[in-house]
Amino acid sequence: MRRVYLDNAATEKMLPCVKQAMLDAMDAELGNAAALHYEGWNAKKLIEEARVRVARLINAESEEIIFTSGGTEANNTVMEIFRGKRIVTSSVEHPSVLEAARARAGELVVLPVDRWGRVDTVDIEKEAKIADLVSVMLANNELGTIEPIKEYVKCCKKYNTYVHTDATQAVGKIKVDVKELGVDYLSFSAHKIGGPIGAGVLYVKNGVPYRNLMYGGKQEEGRRAGTSNILGIVGLGAAARWCWEEWSCRKWAEVTKLKNELKRRILAEVPYSSCNSPDEGCLPGILNMSFQAAEGESIQLYLDAEGICVSTGSACAAGDIKPSHVMMAARHDAEVAHSSIRLSLGLDTTKEDIERVMAVLPGIIRKLQGMSTIKVGA
């Protein structure tokens, strides 16, 4: 029996077309993309083809696309651009934004969020007046909440404040159009859209400030030093092409139906359960649930023993026994945070997968609640 993989928010399974594109690249006569010979030009051609495909996916210009090692590097680069400046961000950002901002900002403002993880536009408006950069994610990786970035941008542009959004969870799942959003910087990772781990994108709008994070060679038009990860970039390009040609957002709409069915059944069949993800304005595949008097890591381990893979939040925080900073910012309740798990569905999730989860989850929760010293229902 195949395992049920419900941790797609951490890493999407690699698309078959991505694997094939990378295998084809391995068999091609490729050299260093910076070299001035036949093999070098072949490599450069593949990189530029990928750049065009990525740009098309988010409606950018190809010269506005910088390839990175992933979303973390892309986010750190944006914070480096605004080193010593006044940076405004939210309390539910990915650590690669929060920690990078803490390390580089001259002054850092971390805005609170509501119970669903959304920033109040009033707060954005207030801070944008004196900020150099506002960085708020397009969609949250733990709750699935989609932020009204266009509204934030309108506030910021009144004061000529630059805007960055971490779109790692959003690209490929919902429509992401940099021109429509109006952002100056946008970042995402290949492995969240069925591409390989170790490749990412930083969109930098033409004409906005830029500063290198890494120095050395003149790769990426002098904006990101280091020998190009040709195979990773080829895989990223193939994933972007698939998302565009197959219009992956439409396919993800089908996932929403499965997610809603899973949520309905959990709330109906699992004792003392509650949902932390919003009903509206939520990513199609992410479902965050809490179970009173049942510890999240224990739920995860019991499910894993049954062949079901889920997570307790961000994969980058795996092994951290502290409650999720996202859950604490949204709910202000350590017990709720510790009792939460994230079930993130993917394009290959089936009704049978949902049935398997529901065949074992109620019993696991009852067992853990029976072992708990916390009074259930209190």
CA atoms within 13 A on the CB side of 229: 18
Whole-number Å distance between alpha carbons of 172 and 239: 9
**Tokens, residue 68:** 């990175």
Catalogue the active-site residues.
316
- The pLDDT score that the predictor gives to residue 313 is 59
- Higher pLDDT, residue 34 or 317: 34
For 165-191, b/e burial (b = at least 16 CB within 10 A) is bbbbbbbbbbebebeebbbbbbbbbbb
Instruction: Please check the confidence at residue 319 and state whether its pLDDT lies above 70.
Output: no
pLDDT in tens, 118-157: 999 999 999 999 999 999 999 999 999 999 999 999 999 9
Average model confidence (pLDDT) across the chain: 94
SS3 174: strand
Question: When comparing pLDDT for 81 and 220, which is higher?
Answer: 81
Q: Does 41 have pLDDT greater than 90?
A: no
Ordered by where they begin, the domains of the chain are: 4-12+247-371 (3.90.1150.10), 16-245 (3.40.640.10)
Look at residue 315 and tell me whether its pLDDT is greater than 50.
no
Q: What was the pLDDT predicted at 314?
A: 45
